[in-house]
Amino acid sequence: MKSFLAVMLVSVIAGAVEYKGVEYPATIELQGKTLTLNGLGLRTATFLNIKVYTIGLYVEKKSKDGKKIVESSENKEFRMQFLRDVDKGDIVDAWKESFKRHCSGEECKSLKPKLDELNALMQDMKEDHKVHYRMYGGKFEVVVNGKTIGAVEGEAFSKLLQKIWLADNSQYKEMRKGLLGLEDE
């Protein structure tokens, strides 16, 4: 029985995980580092709980502590797959709303130009489009359907954006639980 469980564990680690019909690799490479899938979440919208996208968080060291992950300068990647079409305007509005929620005072003033840079990179997303947000070397890189479309420099900005999904006061409570592997707790 133990050998069967060991084989099952190896196949999950070496393979992929399916979540809400979307496949996520168990590990990825980013800037020469191996990142491991920390957890998976689902973004829903409106009181109807319309499914918008699935999201996976990849980290160098797995953790259930959102603050620890945000504060770490290790490489990270959030991978999203859209489950429906979403207009650029809606994406920009979501970034703005989340930005206001997770910063205050001088921090907001100093990081607002970075938010404008990020919003300039956004585009309409179609069902099945994939977006990767990569954090490494003090930058926040945006990749859409395998093509790098730009990056915003600044570790403070990158950390602020990570709080949107991982902070204790995240507006996306269920998604946060999934990304941190807390869904069973």
DSSP type of residue 167 = S
**% pLDDT > 70, the chain:** 91
Q: Tell me the per-residue pLDDT of 124-134, one tens digit each, with 9 for 90 and over.
A: 999 999 999 99
| In a domain? residue 15 | no
Residue 47's domain is classified under what CATH number? 3.50.70.10
The model's pTM: 0.89
Domain contains 74: yes
For residue 145, is it within any domain? yes
pLDDT single digits (tens) 61-105: 999 999 999 999 999 999 999 999 999 999 999 999 999 888 888
The CA distances from residue 172 to 1, 8, 27, 85, 175, in Å, are 39, 32, 24, 20, 5
Question: 170 lies in which domain range?
Answer: 28-179
User: Is position 2 within any domain?
Assistant: no
Measured in whole angstroms, how far is the alpha carbon of residue 46 from the centre of its chain? 20
> What is d(CA 110, CA 21) in angstroms, rounded to the nearest whole number?
40
Q: Is residue 13 part of a domain?
A: no
Total number of domains constituting the chain: 1
Residue 97 covered by a domain: yes
Q: Residues 6 or more apart from 90 whose CB is under 8 A from it?
A: none
Q: Is residue 1 part of a domain?
A: no
Has residue 94 been placed in a domain? yes
pLDDT per position as a tens digit, 13-72: 458 999 999 999 999 999 999 999 999 999 998 888 899 999 999 999 999 999 999 999
